[in-house]
Amino acid sequence: MRKYWGFIKDPLYGYIKITDVEKKIVDTAPIQRLRRIKQLSGAEYVYPAANHTRFEHSLGVMYLAGVLAQNLPIELNDETIEFIKLSALLHDVGHGPFSHVFDSILSKKLGKTHEDLAGWIIKNSEIAEILEAEGFSSKEVSDLAVGKLNFKEPFFNQIISSGVDVDKMDFISRDSYHTGAGYGYTDVFRLIYSMEIYEGNLAVGETALSTLETFLLARLESFKTIYFHKASRAAQIMLVKALEKAENEAYYLPFESVNDYLALDDYSVWFMLKKCEKSKDIIKNLENRKLLKCAYERIFFTQEKMVTSVFTNEVVRRKIEEEIASKANLEPEKVVIDIPSLPSVPYVNAKLELMDIPVFVKNKTGEKMSKKATELSRIINVMQAYMNIVRVYTEEPYRNKVAEASEKTFGYLPSETTISY
């Protein structure tokens, strides 16, 4: 058993006990950098207390991963549990400044995500040296950190990346706590203590079905009220525009080394965005909370992927923006279409839809069987859909003109794609 270093106080879980090796990884520059990256960049314009960072979230995910690994009805030795915890701790190490806001830059310019950069950082920084010295493979840790470990059973990946993983358990609870929104309370320990391994996959016990319903509802409500809030998205859109304008001044692509990327955080990039002639006006507006305004909005649920894919195609979206701007007699750059969406995503390695989380039940003889959550819960079955939001943003003086032009352009969505909630 590895030696424990001490405790860290967490507002959600109380005291988090950490080992010497965990302390060594926590004290590395890549992890300490996460103190300077907000968890919910943009949300602070709506929820003033939403200034928590990727650092405390990473600690929380590590803690929950340890609790889950220790309570699974399968014999995992101390080294395996430590391996899972370290991977969980490092799952967000690849995030860029302003968290998911920078993902759009990585995707558009480099064809990468923060998960791709997580593996790059883990294998090419001081973290790798510490892991190897402590008997862990940096390659395996980097793979498990993003839910892509190949040679272990699927449940290893599903602990960190799945429909009901410790990452979601922490950020839904933590984001709800710091925003005060109140939608994210879920008894995560009830979920954890009910979990088992069924045919290599992580499964929730039927006795915790109501808790699973609460968890999925909390996730949906958090997306609608926190992550997809109009003002939060407005701030994020403005940040993306500033980042795009300031390329080669605030940062340079592609990154020549891990250290070049690690030099970027909220503090350093914000400072450079303020100095850059092309982006400083946007930052000044953000500092004074002069946000873009939503002139048009439609929220609808549909299982037709086409609705999402058409609008997320940049060429199509640009043409629609130009059409709306033309009808409003504005320059195209004065109109922005935003399509935040919450599509069902694969349950990693099990090839199941998000709401088809495995739930194990026992028959009369005590034999375990696996069923889909959608088969057992009417609530979860109703939730297995796509939530799409179409919004058009512009500056305050043009709001009415853009609203009218958007109505003419979009018209009204078919009634079958909309439901009240």
Does residue 272 sit in the same domain as residue 361?
Answer: yes
Q: To the nearest whole percent, how much of the chain has pLDDT over 90?
A: 70
Structural domain for 78, as ranges: 4-289+353-384
Does residue 124 sit in the same domain as residue 44?
Answer: yes
Does residue 151 sit in the same domain as residue 250?
Answer: yes
Please report the pLDDT score of residue 299 as a whole number.
Answer: 77
H-helix or E-strand spanning residue 390: strand 387-394
Q: What is the rounded CA–CA span in Å between residue 372 and residue 384? A: 12
Does residue 130 sit in the same domain as residue 260?
Answer: yes
Cβ neighbours of residue 409 closer than 8 Å, sequence gap 6 or more: 320, 323, 324, 327
Specify the higher pLDDT residue, 368 or 286: 286
Q: What confidence tens digit (pLDDT) does each residue in 164-182 have?
A: 999 999 999 999 999 998 8
Give pTM, 2 decimals.
Answer: 0.91
Strand, helix or coil for residue 30 = helix
Judged against a pLDDT cut of 90, whether residue 420 lies above it is answered with no
Tokens of 32: 């300490």
**314-327 and 305-312 helices, crossing angle to 10°:** 70
- Tell me the sheet residues that pair with 390: 298
Judged against a pLDDT cut of 60, whether residue 352 lies above it is answered with no
Please report the pLDDT score of residue 349 as a whole number.
Answer: 33
Per-residue pLDDT averaged across 135-156, rounded? Answer: 94
Please report the pLDDT score of residue 350 as a whole number.
Answer: 33
Please report the pLDDT score of residue 224 as a whole number.
Answer: 84
Does residue 367 sit in the same domain as residue 250?
Answer: yes
Residue with tokens 């795009």: 244
Residue with tokens 């709506």: 46
Per-residue pLDDT averaged across 36-40, rounded? Answer: 97
Task: Determine which of 28-37, 135-144, 217-226, 233-242 has the lowest per-residue pLDDT on average.
Answer: 217-226
Judged against a pLDDT cut of 70, whether residue 56 lies above it is answered with yes
Does residue 244 sit in the same domain as residue 271?
Answer: yes
Does residue 132 sit in the same domain as residue 54?
Answer: yes
Task: Residue 277: give its domain's CATH number.
Answer: 1.10.3210.10
Local confidence band at 367 (pLDDT 50, 70, 90 cut-offs): confident
Q: Provide the domain count of the chain.
A: 2
Local confidence band at 360 (pLDDT 50, 70, 90 cut-offs): confident
Does residue 318 sit in the same domain as residue 232?
Answer: no
Per-residue pLDDT averaged across 189-194, rounded? Answer: 95
Judged against a pLDDT cut of 80, whether residue 325 lies above it is answered with yes
Please report the pLDDT score of residue 297 as a whole number.
Answer: 92
Q: To the nearest whole percent, how much of the chain has pLDDT over 70?
A: 89
Per-residue pLDDT averaged across 338-354, rounded? Answer: 48
Please report the pLDDT score of residue 419 as a whole number.
Answer: 34
Judged against a pLDDT cut of 70, whether residue 338 lies above it is answered with yes
Average pLDDT of the chain? 88
Per-residue pLDDT averaged across 184-213, rounded? Answer: 90
Exposure string for 350-368, b = 16+ CB within 10 A, e = fewer: bebbbbbbbbbbeeeeeee
Does residue 192 sit in the same domain as residue 100?
Answer: yes
Does residue 166 sit in the same domain as residue 186?
Answer: yes
Tokens of 346: 């694969």
Per-residue pLDDT averaged across 115-138, rounded? Answer: 97
Does residue 36 sit in the same domain as residue 73?
Answer: yes
Please report the pLDDT score of residue 235 as a whole number.
Answer: 97
Greatest extent of the chain over all pairs of C-alpha atoms, in Å: 73
Q: Which of 110-114, 350-354, 372-376 has the highest mean pLDDT?
A: 110-114
Transcribe 55-115 into DSSP letters.
HHHHHHHHHHHHHHHHHSSS---HHHHHHHHHHHHTTTTT--TTTHHHHHHIIIIIS--HH
For the chain, give the number of residues: 421
Q: Which of 134, 29, 35, 34 is nearest to 85 (CA)?
A: 134
Local confidence band at 98 (pLDDT 50, 70, 90 cut-offs): very high
Does residue 366 sit in the same domain as residue 391?
Answer: no
